[in-house]
């Protein structure tokens, strides 16, 4: 599942792109060492990369200016994540040691111990909550400012593949290996609803902008729209050719971007598609030149995707 | 009286009653029995479920269709708890890639939902799963559950996997997902050179809730 962690999307303020325009490379960030992990803050102000030289490099966006470099040590990292405002950056290694860094100070903010290697890490939109799970274990939710664990979700067989907070943090949705899509109260961890319509494992989940619906997809090769309060399946978008590895709803809520996985070869790139949620219409589709390492929606509802070469990160404007 | 239904605990208690099991002076008989039970069998090691589990698989003991390419393999084992009690009716869901390393996401090829029989035994026939990119070793996924026991996700690996270069003791960590050497099982080759089958034993031990 860690390969799915590569599929993290970028949020950044950029100029608009006319529909139908082929994806263009809009920014290149040179990297002195090849990238292992890459994240961008939803605020669009910061990009972060952990490179093979064990340095965390932080760039201010949209200028692409390198603002700091942090020595992370010799841990073998398995997963990284950045908070929405870019202030907190989490790295977790194979032993289950998770470290939250304060990016502005370049200092360790908090350390959390998991039973073993991480399976999931997600910040809430305001960066105050952190959902974290060892692979196969229940999701734990932490209050970052208070440095305390708030609650733990129920154990599900096989654990959780993906999770997302609603924009106000009131709800937390999980895509679980037992094929359930669950919605919990974001403050208490109490189960709100469960959808059981998936046959294959859902691998990606997000809320619509108003938090009333959950968009989920995975090995079933179809994007489902689910009522968050009841767990009832509302509709499917069109059937897809490949499993969905990651999805993210646009800031204005009208579109959802899906990153597919190439089931024949997980190391080869698969398409990125943008859908209109209301109609299920496919707005655009693009096959990246290599496996995406990150990406996301801009605040004005455009989609950027990042790929990497040994020397640089390349940003492509897809929609 | 038949002792077919005797559990390991029953036997230990009977031994104690008959004087053939002696408790250490500092331990009661019950404590001794509990200690011996705990030591009896370790639960099967956990492994991650992987991304391609699919519920609703048919109960098929033969996953290999006639003419399927790949090395035929027969897998069998018992499902029990840590006290050695067999678990009839335990659910054993298994799924794997075909001999070329491809999972069937659209149907249920090489997927089955078995039930352990009265003696806790399960078995199935398949083909040796292939390697695929982003994963080091050949493997078969397991999801095992029984009432009153912790549900187990794990994976079965094969000592003959070329990745181990004949030495799984030394090389099993080449796949970072293999946490326990015990999950790498010996493979017995059966038949004449023109019709070789592989056989693998894989017992499952579940923890009580």
pLDDT in tens, A112-127: 999 999 999 999 999 9
Chain A nearest-CA residue for B55: A199
Q: Residue B153: which of A158, A199, A263 has the nearest Cβ?
A: A158
Chain A nearest-CA residue for B155: A158
pLDDT above 70: residue B119: yes
Among A17-21, A174-178, B57-61, name the one with the lowest average pLDDT: A17-21
Higher pLDDT, B121 or A84: B121
Cβ of B176 within 8 Å of Cβ of A94? The answer is yes
pLDDT cut 70: percent of chain B above it: 81
pLDDT above 80: residue A5: no
Looking up tokens 């292992």 gives A36
Task: Report residue B120 CA to chain centroid gap.
Answer: 12
| CATH class of the domain comprising B72-206 | mainly beta
Q: Which residues of A touch B176 (CB under 8 A)?
A: 94
Q: Residue length, chain B?
A: 209
Locate the DSSP E strands across A61-147: 65-71, 77-82, 88-93, 97-102, 107-113, 118-123, 129-134, 140-143
**pLDDT tens track for A155-164:** 999 999 999 9
pLDDT above 60: residue A35: yes
Mean pLDDT of B147-168: 96
Q: Report the pLDDT value the prediction gives residue B51, as an integer from 0 to 100.
A: 84
Which of A133-142, A291-300, A309-318, B30-39 shows the highest mean pLDDT?
A133-142
Confidence of residue A19 (pLDDT cuts 50, 70, 90): very low
pLDDT above 90: residue A153: yes
User: What secondary structure does DSSP assign to A279-304, as a single string?
Assistant: T--EEEEE--SS---EEEE-TTS-EE
Domain ranges of chain B: 8-39, 72-206
**pLDDT tens track for B168-178:** 999 999 998 99
pLDDT above 90: residue A108: yes
Mean pLDDT of B11-31: 47
Q: Residue B48: which of A136, A243, A265 has the nearest Cβ?
A: A136
Among A32-41, A147-156, A174-183, B29-38, name the one with the lowest average pLDDT: B29-38
**pLDDT tens track for A229-264:** 999 999 999 888 899 999 999 989 999 999 999 988
Q: Report the pLDDT value the prediction gives residue B37, as an integer from 0 to 100.
A: 58
Nearest to A245, CA basis, from B106, B107, B52, B131: B52
Cβ of A243 within 8 Å of Cβ of B56? The answer is no
Mean pLDDT of A173-188: 97
**pLDDT tens track for B183-209:** 999 999 998 888 889 999 999 999 999
The answer to whether the peptide bond before residue B116 is cis (omega within 30 degrees of 0) is no
Cβ of B132 within 8 Å of Cβ of A265? The answer is yes
pLDDT above 80: residue A299: no
Q: Which secondary-structure segment (H or E) carries A181?
A: strand A181-185
pLDDT cut 70: percent of chain A above it: 93
Distance from CA of B55 to the nearest CA of A (A): 5
Cβ of A179 within 8 Å of Cβ of B55? The answer is yes
């Amino acid at each position: 599942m860690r390969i799915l962690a590569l599929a993290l999307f970028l949020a950044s303020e950029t100029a608009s792109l006319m529909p139908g325009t082929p994806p263009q490379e809009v920014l290149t960030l040179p990297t002195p060492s090849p990238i292992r992990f890459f994240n961008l803050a939803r605020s669009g102000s910061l990009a972060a990369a952990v490179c093979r030289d064990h340095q965390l490099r932080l760039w201010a966006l949209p200028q692409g200016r390198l603002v700091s470099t942090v020595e992370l040590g010799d841990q073998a990292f398995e997963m990284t994540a950045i908070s929405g405002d870019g202030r907190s950056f989490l790295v977790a290694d194979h032993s289950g040691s998770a470290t939250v860094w304060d990016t502005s100070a370049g200092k360790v903010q908090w350390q959390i111990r998991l039973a073993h290697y991480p399976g999931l890490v997600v910040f809430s939109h305001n960066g105050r909550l952190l959902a974290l799970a060892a692979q196969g274990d229940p999701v734990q939710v932490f209050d970052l400012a208070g440095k305390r664990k708030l609650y733990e979700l129920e154990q599900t067989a096989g654990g959780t593949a993906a999770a997302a907070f609603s924009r106000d943090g009131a709800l937390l949705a999980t895509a679980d290996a037992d094929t359930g899509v669950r919605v919990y109260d974001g403050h208490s961890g109490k189960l709100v609803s469960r959808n059981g319509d998936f046959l294959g494992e859902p691998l990606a989940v997000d809320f619509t902008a108003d938090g009333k619906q959950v968009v989920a997809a995975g090995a079933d090769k179809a994007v489902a729209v689910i009522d968050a309060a009841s767990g009832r399946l509302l509709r499917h978008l069109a059937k897809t050719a490949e499993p969905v590895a990651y999805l993210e709803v646009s800031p204005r809520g009208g579109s959802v971007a899906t990153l597919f996985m190439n089931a024949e070869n997980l190391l080869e790139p698969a398409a990125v598609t943008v859908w209109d949620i209301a109609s299920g219409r496919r707005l655009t589709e693009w096959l990246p030149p290599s496996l995406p390492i990150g990406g996301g929606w801009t605040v004005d509802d455009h989609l950027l995707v990042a790929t990497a070469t040994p020397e640089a990160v390349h940003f492509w404007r897809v929609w | 009286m038949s002792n077919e239904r005797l559990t390991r605990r029953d036997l230990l208690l009977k031994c104690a009653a008959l004087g053939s099991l002696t408790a250490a002076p500092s331990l009661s008989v019950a404590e001794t029995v509990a200690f011996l039970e705990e030591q009896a069998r370790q639960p099967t090691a956990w492994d991650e479920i992987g991304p391609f589990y699919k519920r609703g698989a048919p109960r098929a003991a033969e996953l290999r269709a006639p003419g399927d390419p790949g090395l035929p393999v027969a897998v069998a084992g018992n499902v029990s708890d840590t006290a050695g009690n067999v678990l009839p009716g335990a659910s054993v869901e298994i799924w794997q890639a075909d001999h070329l390393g491809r999972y069937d996401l659209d149907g249920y090829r090489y997927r089955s939902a078995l039930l352990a029989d009265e003696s806790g035994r399960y078995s199935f026939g398949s083909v040796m799963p292939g390697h695929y990119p982003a994963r080091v070793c050949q493997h078969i996924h397991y999801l095992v559950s029984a009432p009153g026991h912790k549900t187990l996700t794990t994976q079965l690996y094969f000592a003959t996997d070329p990745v181990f270069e004949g030495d799984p003791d030394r090389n099993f960590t080449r796949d970072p997902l293999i946490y326990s050497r015990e999950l790498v099982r010996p493979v017995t080759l059966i038949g004449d050179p023109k019709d070789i089958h592989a056989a693998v034993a894989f017992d499952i031990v579940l923890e009580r809730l």
